[in-house]
């Protein structure tokens, strides 16, 4: 009886022990600690520099926090996509392992993870590299290694033109005129000819108030006295102009462009102090007998885009000219009904723009009102 109780106690204890340990299940394989490849690599070329940026991986291929960080390789190839790292431009040192991600809560209570940190690198292109294959592209990728020197593969690939760029022009000058902003600069030496490659000066206009950039115009490189007239601005605003030389590479799908370095900006304050042109072709014609006397004035119309209207001036011998219109005249014709028989009148017309600038007076036109019989 005692033996039976002892056996039963041992069996009961064994069952309880197994129950407390739980089911072992399928063992998980150890993590290889391979960072998930970068997927948002971006590249921008300006002059002989290529600016790369990407998000630093935070997790491994098996969805674990990436802790064993190693260097990041910058990979580059000329003229063809990357199959492996190709030319290693440089290796960036490992970043300090990120602190444990914290969550912040929106007003609705939904958690939002802190965005991953960003990494960047600027590749300085040598002149020999730029002319190695001037009508093709440079391909870039990054490879993030762990502390054991292993990687899960290359990032997404990005490409920029490999064509050479020219130095920025010197002597940029902006001069305000009544027709627009006259821009001039010093001509660059004629560049070496490369089939499929051409160059153009590009002038940018920046609105100082909004910091909005626009292209004011382009001029082919090679002209002895380069310059352009910018008419795309708005009066009573301030602008900064800068210039660059853009390299255009002809491709079957269209021209690829690479901008060189910029000049220092020059400022133009577009304050309109320029009057319209003097009206031309003024004629004065009497109404004729049998009608209430009046004199009609006709002239050629001005062509200024900001023209607001005209003023009409009348003069008699021995008197100063007086303006006989109350409001600006909107048409190139005017009828003067305040005339008296037996008097001769002399007329001149001015043009006025939207900013109140008035032109000099036109050449006079005269007409006699016959005396009553």
∠ CA(326), CA(312), CA(315), 5° rounding? 110
Nearest residue to 159 via CA among 89, 87, 77: 77
| pLDDT greater than 80 at residue 170 | yes
Q: Provide the whole-model pTM.
A: 0.75
Cβ atoms of 26 and 7 within 8 Å: the answer is no
Q: How many residues does the chain have?
A: 373
Write down the mean pLDDT value for the chain. Answer: 88
pLDDT tens figures, 189-239: 999 899 999 999 999 999 999 999 999 999 999 988 999 999 999 999 999
Q: For residues 42-53, give the mean pLDDT.
A: 97
∠ CA(30), CA(33), CA(39), 5° rounding? 135
pLDDT over 70 percentage in the chain: 87
| pLDDT greater than 90 at residue 12 | no
Quickly state the pLDDT bin for 49 (edges 50, 70, 90): very high
Q: What are the helix and strand counts (H, E) for the chain?
A: 2, 24
∠ CA(292), CA(294), CA(297), 5° rounding? 155
pLDDT computed for residue 373 by the predictor: 62
pLDDT computed for residue 97 by the predictor: 55
CATH number of 42-161: 2.60.40.10
Quickly state the pLDDT bin for 30 (edges 50, 70, 90): low
Can you name the residues that pair with 329 across neighbouring β-strands?
A: 310
Q: Is the dihedral of CA 14, 19, 21, 23 positive or negative?
A: positive
**Residue that is written with structure tokens 């909107």 in the block:** 330
pLDDT tens figures, 64-73: 999 899 999 9
Contacts of 283 (CB under 8 A, 6+ apart): 297, 298, 299, 365
| Domain assignments of the chain as residue spans, ordered by start | 42-161, 173-269, 283-368
Residue 324 burial (10 A CB sphere; 0-12, 13-18, 19+): middle
The terminus-to-terminus CA distance of the chain in angstroms comes to: 163
Distances (CA, A) of 19 to 13, 16, 28: 10, 5, 22
Q: Is the dihedral of CA 136, 137, 139, 140 positive or negative?
A: positive
CATH architecture of 283-368: Sandwich (2.60)
Question: Which CATH superfamily does the domain covering 173-269 fall into?
Answer: Immunoglobulins (2.60.40.10)
Distance (Å, rounded) from C-alpha 310 to C-alpha 332?
Answer: 8
pLDDT computed for residue 226 by the predictor: 95
Can you name the residues that pair with 174 across neighbouring β-strands?
A: 183
Answer whether 42-161 and 283-368 agree in fold. yes
Cβ atoms of 313 and 347 within 8 Å: the answer is yes
Nearest residue to 167 via CA among 83, 304, 263, 95: 263
Distance (Å, rounded) from C-alpha 3 to C-alpha 186?
Answer: 112
Cβ atoms of 335 and 345 within 8 Å: the answer is no
**Kind and range of the H or E run holding 16:** helix 2-21
Q: Where is pLDDT greater, at 242 or 80?
A: 242
* Beta strands across the sheet bearing 69-78: 87-92, 69-78, 137-146, 158-161
């Amino acid at each position: 009886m005692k033996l039976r109780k002892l056996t039963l106690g041992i069996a009961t204890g064994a069952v309880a022990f197994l129950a407390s340990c739980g089911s072992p299940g399928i063992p998980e394989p150890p993590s290889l600690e391979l960072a998930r490849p970068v997927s948002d690599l971006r590249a921008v070329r300006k002059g002989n520099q290529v600016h790369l940026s990407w998000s630093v991986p935070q997790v491994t291929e098996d969805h674990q926090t990436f802790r064993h960080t190693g260097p990041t390789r910058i990979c580059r190839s000329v003229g063809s996509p990357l199959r492996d790292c190709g030319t290693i431009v440089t290796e960036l040192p490992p970043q300090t392992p990120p602190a444990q991600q914290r969550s912040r809560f929106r007003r609705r209570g939904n958690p939002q993870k802190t965005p991953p940190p960003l990494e960047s690198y600027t590749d300085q292109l040598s002149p020999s590299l730029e002319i190695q294959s001037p009508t093709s592209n440079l391909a870039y990728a990054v490879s993030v290694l762990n502390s054991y020197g292993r990687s899960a593969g290359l990032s997404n690939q990005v490409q920029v033109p490999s064509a050479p760029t020219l130095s920025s022009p010197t002597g940029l000058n902006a001069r305000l005129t009544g027709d627009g902003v006259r821009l001039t600069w010093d001509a660059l030496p004629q560049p070496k000819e490369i089939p499929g490659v051409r160059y153009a000066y590009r002038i940018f206009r920046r609105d100082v108030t909004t910091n909005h950039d626009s292209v004011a115009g382009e001029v082919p490189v090679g002209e002895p006295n380069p310059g352009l007239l910018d008419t795309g601005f708005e009066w009573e605003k301030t602008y900064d102009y800068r210039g660059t030389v853009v390299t255009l590479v002809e491709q079957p799908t269209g021209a690829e462009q690479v901008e060189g370095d910029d000049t220092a900006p020059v400022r133009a304050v577009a304050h309109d102090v320029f009057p319209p042109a003097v009206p031309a072709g003024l004629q004065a014609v009497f109404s004729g007998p049998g009608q209430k006397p009046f004199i009609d004035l006709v002239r050629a119309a001005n062509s200024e885009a900001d023209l607001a209207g005209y003023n009409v001036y009348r003069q008699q011998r021995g008197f100063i000219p007086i303006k006989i219109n109350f409001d600006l005249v909107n048409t190139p014709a005017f009828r003067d009904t305040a005339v008296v028989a037996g008097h001769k009148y002399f007329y001149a017309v001015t043009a006025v723009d939207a900013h109140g600038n008035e032109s000099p007076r036109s050449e006079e036109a005269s007409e006699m009102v016959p005396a009553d019989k």
